[in-house]
């Protein structure tokens, strides 16, 4: 008698957390694994396309235009998604240089903000196949050293600015609504005759922004569509009251992919009132036979290393074995975490000649973007 029990494939609301990912994390469901990897690759695209060269007058922008974005970052499913909007942000802290890159050029395109991410939607063909329109918000983490987390500070701040109309005392809620809310509202209205899901994703600082933005959406009226945050290496963002209020919204769910040895998710500390948010998928980069026994906290926090481990994760007690095809070389995009015998150079994702080109006069100069890639500020993140 065949004792094999056939496990039903989870429906898309379950993959987005409608049942708190119950029964999908250990063992890690294949469809959920692929969704997590897709979100991680959407995050990685924000790093790969960000211009942090302070010698360029376009420092702080995205290197690529919306039409060609996914192809130029070599996103695997480039033809399946379209960029609907770019997002920009500024920083209201004393040490702005910890967050913002600014050009040294007097002709800088923008001295007040940096490109922080994008909103993407699935194409008509993919949406028809999936049975829903996917809306993704991918938010970039900082590319500075991790000193940013000390500069940001750990003193809790009021969430009043995120709260909805019921908590607004001056009747000016709509005028103050962040532009992200405005754009998501436009897209939901555009696809009102379809099933729609909104997934926010980010790594590190971008993960924090993704969680807060998910909270922002449901607090400001997005209560009848699934809103999920699938994040990586996320610092704590709120206290007990924040988490309790988040849980009151049945349509929002947070999945946190967390490396056991990563220190960033443990900051700010619980003694300051901070609590973990959402459901954890705990992984351990030490499980992979391809990674060095690194003592560098930046390696423990590296996004591509986490995605490599997600691809082969079989639980705390299981052996590491890839369940989906994923190129090992991706790990070393911005680090040197792979063992030397893998023969992959470290930090290999760089602009050719660091963006220098030879002009008609034989002079080497910093290249200007192609016309389709010229930055055009549109939506502020907040």
| Catalytic member of 203, 256, 301, 308 | 301
For 325, residues 6+ apart whose C-beta sits below 8 A from its C-beta are none
299 is catalytic: no
DSSP state letters, 36-76:
HHHHHHHHHHHHHTB---TTSTTTTSBSS-TTTHHHHTT-T
For 267, residues 6+ apart whose C-beta sits below 8 A from its C-beta are 149, 154, 235, 236
d(CA 175, CA 85): 20
| Catalytic member of 41, 53, 262, 373 | 262
345-365 b/e with 16+ CB inside 10 Å = b? eeeeeeeeeebeeeeeeeeee
Answer for the pair 287, 309: CB distance below 8 angstroms, yes or no: yes
| Catalytic member of 85, 122, 127, 204 | 204
Answer for the pair 10, 170: CB distance below 8 angstroms, yes or no: no
262 is catalytic: yes
For 363, residues 6+ apart whose C-beta sits below 8 A from its C-beta are none
249 is catalytic: no
* Residues noted as catalytic: 204, 262, 301
């Amino acid at each position: 008698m065949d004792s094999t029990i056939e496990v039903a494939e989870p429906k898309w609301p379950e993959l987005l957390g409608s049942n708190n990912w119950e029964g999908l994390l250990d063992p890690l469901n294949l469809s959920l694994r692929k969704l997590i990897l897709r979100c991680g690759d959407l995050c990685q695209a924000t790093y790969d396309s960000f211009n942090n060269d302070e010698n360029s007058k376009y420092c702080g922008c995205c290197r690529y235009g919306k039409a060609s974005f996914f192809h130029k970052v070599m996103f695997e499913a480039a033809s399946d998604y379209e960029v609907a909007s770019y997002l920009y942000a500024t920083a209201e802290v004393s040490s702005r240089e910890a967050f913002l890159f600014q050009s040294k050029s007097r002709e800088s395109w923008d001295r007040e903000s940096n490109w922080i991410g994008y909103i993407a939607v699935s194409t008509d063909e993919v949406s028809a196949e999936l049975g829903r329109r996917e809306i993704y918000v991918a938010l970039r983490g900082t590319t500075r050293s991790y000193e940013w987390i000390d500069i940001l500070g750990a003193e809790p701040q009021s969430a009043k600015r995120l709260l909805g109309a019921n908590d607004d005392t001056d009747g000016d809620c709509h005028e103050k609504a962040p532009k992200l809310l405005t754009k998501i509202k436009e897209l939901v209205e555009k696809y009102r005759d379809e099933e729609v899901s909104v997934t926010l994703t980010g790594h590190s600082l971008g993960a924090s922004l993704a969680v807060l933005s998910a909270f922002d959406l449901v607090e400001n009226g997005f209560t009848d569509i699934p809103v999920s945050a699938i994040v990586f290496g996320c610092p704590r963002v709120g206290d007990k009251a924040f988490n309790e209020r988040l849980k009151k919204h049945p349509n929002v769910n947070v999945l946190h992919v967390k490396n056991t040895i990563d220190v960033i998710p443990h900051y700010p500390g619980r003694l300051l009132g901070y609590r973990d948010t959402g459901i954890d998928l705990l992984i351990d980069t030490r499980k992979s036979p391809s990674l060095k026994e690194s003592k560098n906290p930046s390696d423990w926090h590296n996004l591509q290393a986490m995605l490599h481990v997600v691809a082969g994760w079989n639980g705390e007690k299981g052996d590491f074995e890839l369940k989906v095809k994923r190129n090992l070389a991706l790990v070393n995009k911005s680090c040197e975490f792979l063992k030397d015998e893998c023969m992959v150079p470290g930090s290999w994702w760089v602009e050719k000649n660091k963006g220098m080109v030879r002009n008609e006069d034989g002079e080497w100069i910093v290249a200007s973007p192609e016309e389709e890639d010229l930055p055009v500020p549109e939506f502020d993140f907040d």
